[in-house]
Amino acid sequence: MAQAQLLQTISPNQVATDKRGHDYDLVIVGGGIIGLTLASALKDSGLSVLLIEAKVESAAVAKGQAYAVHMLSALIYQGIGVWDKILPHIEIYRRVRLSEADYPDVVEFTTADINTTDLGYVAEHQALLYPLREFIQDCPNVTYLCPAEVVNTHYHQDKVAIDIKVAGELRTVRSKLLVAADGSRSPIRQAAGIKTRGWKYWQSCIVAFVKPEKSHNNTAYEKFWSSGPFAILPLPGNRCRIVWTAPHEEAKALCALDDEQFLRELTRRFGDQMGKLELLGDRFIFQVQLMQSDRYALHRLALVGDAAHNCHPVGGQGLNLGIRDAAALAQVIQQAHQAGEDIGNIQILKRYERWRKRENLTILGFTDLLDRVFSNNFLPVMLVRRLGLSILRRVPVLRVYTLKLMIGLKGRTPELAQR
């Protein structure tokens, strides 16, 4: 897929300032998937949007990052109108197999559980990023500014002033609302003094692409080992994405192996269900953390995606929580705008915070519990979790509830996903 080349700069004749001194209704800092999703969701909102991104090429593209895209996220993208551009470049999965190491009780989720044709999708970073970039080219209310860097923010009662460095020049734009979509180390969040709670896990994740000898059969696997979860996600071209969680030192040692040794260890975890494995490209390692911001909103500021929260990668929840944040915030501010309300007012933004903070905390707790319950060899816990897997396999109502929670079909559904 060819990358969309987008570069816009701000000049006085491009900025229409309203009577109250606002150049834009909202400014989004961070032109990754979540920032682009929010801008795209506001296409027909009547709001003027400035989207600022510091880097022309995403580091996640360079590392070949890939994600599970849950059913609710797909419905949101359908509602935006960009899904048809995304779908040809991603892989569908129709089964999820959940198991503990070599324990024989395997829980299998299928499309029959929820009467759909698909359970979810797996997308490489660029398969989401590039169609979203192309989509906003057709959004007349969105200005995309890249590369550009926010160097300062000044919050006032009726606006926020944002100092931006573009091509070595400093420019200031004024907005009713600033949205931080600038990642887990969010400079915008830190500058606003919003504290976070959480911890770094004792684990790191190794990610890699492999090509199996046999078909992946559109099946996603989540295998729990005492050292951490091990996920196999299907991709186009009969490739798979491996997400291998292990204690830090073990993960570092695995990454230090040569390709032949690594493949030998990988096959032990992967199993022989797909035959011989071929390693594609480099391996990458990152530390796992859980984080929840104390606030998702202040006066004239809102946080979305990793700027607001991080969770353990088990279950592939992280990106999907951010997509739901973007859809929820778009809905809240669009409704406020249509009602003649100030979209940057804290009372408006608290509607978004109440909606998303509680739901995100539920998923953060769920992923943390999964990891802690399965990532140990304590005999009483092992017996309980194996009993739990057995019950989950044999009780359809519980299995369907768990599946719906995993793919986003529990909780409040954004209007975009209902179209």
What is the predicted pLDDT for the residue at 338?
97
**Cα dist. 289→184, 186, 311, 312, 417 in Å?**
10, 15, 6, 6, 29
Q: What is the CATH number of domain 12-89+122-198+290-387+410-418?
A: 3.50.50.60
Range 201-288 has CATH code 3.30.9.10: yes
Judged by DSSP in three states, 222 sits in strand
**Cα dist. 238→68, 96, 110, 206, 209 in Å?**
16, 17, 20, 20, 11
Residue 391 near residue 398 (C-beta atoms within 8 A):
yes
Residue 390 near residue 382 (C-beta atoms within 8 A):
no
Report, as an integer, the average pLDDT of 333-347: 98
Long-range Cβ pairs for the range 13-18 (8 Å, 24+):
14/143, 15/173, 16/48, 17/174
- Average pLDDT over the chain reads 91
Please give the model's pTM, rounded to 2 decimal places: 0.93
Of 238-242, 248-252, 360-364, 371-375, the poorest mean pLDDT is in 371-375
Percent of the chain clearing pLDDT 70 (strictly above): 94
Residue 18 has pLDDT above 70, yes or no: no
For the chain, give every residue range classified as CATH 3.30.9.10: 201-288
Residue 5 has pLDDT above 50, yes or no: no
For residue 142 the two structure tokens come to 């969105």
3-class SS string, 154-167: EECCCCEEEEEEEC
Sequence length of the chain is: 419
Report, as an integer, the average pLDDT of 339-356: 98
For the chain, give every residue range classified as CATH 3.50.50.60: 12-89+122-198+290-387+410-418
Each residue of 233-252: pLDDT tens digit? 999 999 999 999 999 999 99
| DSSP single-letter state for residue 44 | T
Q: 301-303 and 66-70 as β-strands: parallel, antiparallel, unpaired?
A: unpaired
